């Protein structure tokens, strides 16, 4: 009888444990989804303070430019510099698409791609980035972002294309200016030669 009860209870205990782990994993996944939504909102509203409480004390990130930030203040400074570069009335929106996360104890490794749109008032830039994030579960059950790395194609991206267009525009402007100088100089020379003929 006791042995029979053992065989009956062990599967039940394993099932209960599996259900508990599955439920916890779903809660953890939802917490990461909420963190993703907070990130999107912070970017859209141009208010990174919304992210501050969701960063761990040892947070660091490699930004799309290859620069490293090691805390919230440096992240804020990087964002301000980027906004200044984009222009006063610029807007930035991002949609984060995440693959399935990997959970190892109190660590979650997430990755995916994001669709980014920058409106500068002069032009619209649409581009895709690839990202990897490491999050850590705190003793209170919350998840915080510990490490982030964002990359994009080094050549085939709108910033490089925009820079190329600017170079072409500068070259064209410079060529036009040189042609204008040559025209003016040639015109003056021709006028000078005509004046010489008349005087002679």
Query: Token pair for residue 55?
Result: 């960063």
Split at pLDDT 50, 70, 90, the class of 87 is confident
pLDDT at 117 over 80: yes
So what's the pLDDT on residue 24?
59
CA angle 8/13/18 to nearest 5° reads 130
CA distances from 32 to 57, 75, 95, 176 (A): 18, 20, 15, 55
- Other C-beta atoms within 10 Å of 148: how many? 20
Split at pLDDT 50, 70, 90, the class of 200 is low
First to last CA, the chain: 135
Please tell me the distance from the alpha carbon of residue 89 to that of residue 59, in angstroms, as a whole number.
30
pLDDT at 170 over 70: no
What is residue 123's three-state secondary structure? coil
pLDDT at 91 over 50: yes
Could you tell me the maximum CA-CA distance found in the chain, to the nearest angstrom?
135
Please tell me the distance from the alpha carbon of residue 34 to that of residue 52, in angstroms, as a whole number.
14
Kindly report the CATH number that applies to the domain delimited by 2-152. Answer: 3.10.450.50
Smallest CA-to-CA distance from 127 within 99, 160, 80 is with 160
Contacts of 97 (CB under 8 A, 6+ apart): 112, 113, 114, 115
Q: Give 172-196 pLDDT, tens digit per residue.
A: 334 444 444 444 545 545 454 454 5
SS3 content of the chain, % helix, strand, coil (to 5): 50, 30, 20
CA distances from 107 to 39, 69, 156, 179, 192 (A): 19, 21, 33, 63, 82
Query: Residue ranges of the alpha helices (H) in 45-137?
Result: 49-52, 72-86
Please tell me the distance from the alpha carbon of residue 126 to that of residue 64, in angstroms, as a whole number.
14
- pTM strictly above 0.75: no
């Amino acid at each position: 009888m006791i042995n029979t009860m053992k065989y009956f209870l062990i599967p039940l205990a394993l099932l209960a444990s599996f259900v508990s782990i599955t439920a916890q994993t779903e809660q953890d996944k939802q917490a990461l989804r909420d963190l993703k939504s907070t990130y999107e909102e912070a970017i859209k509203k141009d208010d990174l303070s919304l992210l501050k409480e969701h960063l761990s004390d040892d947070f660091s990130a490699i930004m799309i430019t290859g620069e490293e930030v090691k805390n919230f203040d440096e992240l804020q400074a990087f964002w301000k510099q980027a906004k200044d570069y984009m222009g006063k009335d610029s807007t930035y929106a991002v949609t984060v698409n995440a693959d399935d996360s990997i959970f190892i104890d109190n660590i979650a490794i997430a990755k995916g791609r994001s669709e980014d749109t920058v409106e500068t008032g002069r032009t619209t830039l649409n581009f895709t980035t690839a990202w990897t994030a490491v999050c850590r579960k705190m003793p209170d059950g919350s998840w915080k972002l510990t490490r982030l790395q964002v990359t994009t194609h080094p050549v085939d991206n709108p910033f490089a294309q925009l820079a190329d267009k600017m170079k072409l525009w500068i070259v064209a402007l410079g060529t036009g200016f040189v042609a204008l100088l040559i025209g003016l100089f040639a015109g003056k020379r021709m006028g000078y030669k005509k004046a010489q003929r008349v005087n002679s």
